[in-house]
A and B are shown apart, each in its own frame.
Chain A
Amino acid sequence: MATKEEILAAVSEVLVDSLAVDEEEVTMEATLVDDLGAESIDLLEIVFNLEKAFDIKIDRSELIPEDLFSNAEYVVDGKLTPAGLAILEERLPNANLDAFKQNPMVQNIAKILTVADLCGVVEQKLA
């Protein structure tokens, strides 16, 4: 079983490789989109490389539950409803959603994903 430090080191290696960022930029708090400059195609590559590095399977919806955001029941005027937020919290138990809750516009969700969230998903898979 890998330790948290070992997981962070391996996740960091994947991010440095996939996003061409410096290792020092990859902190637990860094957001993938705003801080590290990831685009959606990068997230796909990151998932593939994490699967390879840890020999695990990650569904991209475990990182960004896109199905929730395309469900009219939970999205009104581009914002996630309280019911949608409750489901989001269930689906992303490791994510810190405090900032997103301030302005739950659907397009902001990818921006809140942090290095810590990635590590959390990997840790959960390895448990």
Chain B
Amino acid sequence: MNWYWIDRFTVFESGKRACALKTITRAEGHLRDHFPFHPIAPASLIVEGLAQTAGLMVNEATQFEKKVVLGKIPKLTFFETEITPGDVLEYEAVADYINEEGSMATVAVRRGGEKIAEGVLVFAHLGNEFNNKRQFAEGDLEDLVRAYGMYDVGVDADGRPLRDPSLA
């Protein structure tokens, strides 16, 4: 698992809101080609960062029991696409709806307070009846949210610190 498109969470309010940072670095391999000597972070990977911020918020809210899959992007507007190495992106996802079948989140990304993009993401929640394949290899999702610092900054619905189940 190396599909890391956020660096860490800065805010994580269970089932409500999540904020994350992503620093664009010149060391990212794809920036050598996108574009030669003029690196620009691909908008598609910025959307992936928004989807990870929102999707992991939904995953935690559904106790990691569902396969949370980005199903639709009903709205998405970019106000700025010249995102270059050294920029620090601030992702924010606010849960509009989360239920058994799916979820919807309003998302935005900023750079130093300037809004870069905003939109709405819809996720489908698939259970094991869909197919028996795991979405993540054993332990990967748990390692991912730990690496992103979900348990360092996360709070539950009552404002109490989120507990890392591996430490129980």
Known: A48-B96, A48-B97, A52-B96. A42 touches B72 (CB 8 A): yes
CB distance from B110 to the nearest CB of A (A): 24
Count chain A residues whose beta carbon lies closer than 8 angstroms to a beta carbon of B: 11
Q: A17-B74, A18-B74, A48-B104 are in contact. Are A41 and B97 (CB under 8 A)?
A: no
A45/B101 in contact, CB under 8 A: no
B96→A45 contact, CB < 8 A: no
Contacts of B74 in A (CB 8 A): 17-18, 45
Those of B98-115 within 8 Å (CB) of chain A: 101-102, 104
Chain A positions within 8 Å of B104 at CB level: 44-45, 48
CB-defined contacts of A52 to chain B, threshold 8 Å: 96-97
Chain A residue with Cβ nearest B122: A45
Docked pose: A44 CA to B74 CA in angstroms: 12
The smallest C-beta distance from A24 to any residue of chain B, in angstroms, reads: 21
Q: Which of B75-126 contact A (CB under 8 A)?
A: 96-97, 101-102, 104, 122, 124
Interface: A89 (CB within 8 A): no
Residues of B within 8 A of A40 (CB): 124
The minimal Cβ–Cβ distance linking B52 to chain A, given in whole angstroms, is 19
Interface residue? A25 (CB, 8 A):
no
Closest chain A CB from B4 CB (angstroms): 26
Contact assessment for A41 and B96 in the assembled complex, using a CB-CB cutoff below 8 Å: no
Q: Do A41 and B101 touch (CB < 8 A)?
A: no
Query: Within 8 Å of chain B (Cβ to Cβ): is A55?
Result: no
Please, which residues of chain A bring their CB within 8 A of the CB of B96? Answer: 48, 52
Docked Cα-Cα span, A17 to B122, in Å, equals 14
Beta-carbon contacts of A44-56 to B below 8 Å, as 1s and 0s?
1100100110000
A60 at the interface (CB under 8 A from B): yes
Residues in B with CB closer than 8 Å to A45 are 72, 74, 104, 122
* Binary B-proximity of A13-46 (CB < 8 A = 1, otherwise 0): 0000110000000000000000000001110110
| Contact in complex: A48, B122 (CB < 8 Å) | yes
- Contact, CB under 8 Å: A51 / B122: no
Nearest chain A CB to B20 CB, angstrom units: 23
**Does A51 lie within 8 Å of B97, measured CB to CB?**
yes
Q: How far does the Cβ of B126 sit from chain A's closest Cβ, in whole Å?
A: 11
- CB-based nearest A residue for B124: A41
Of A42, A45, A52, A60, most buried by chain B (CB within 10 Å of CB) is: A45
A-B residue pairs, 5 tightest by C-beta: A41-B71, A44-B102, A48-B97, A48-B104, A41-B72
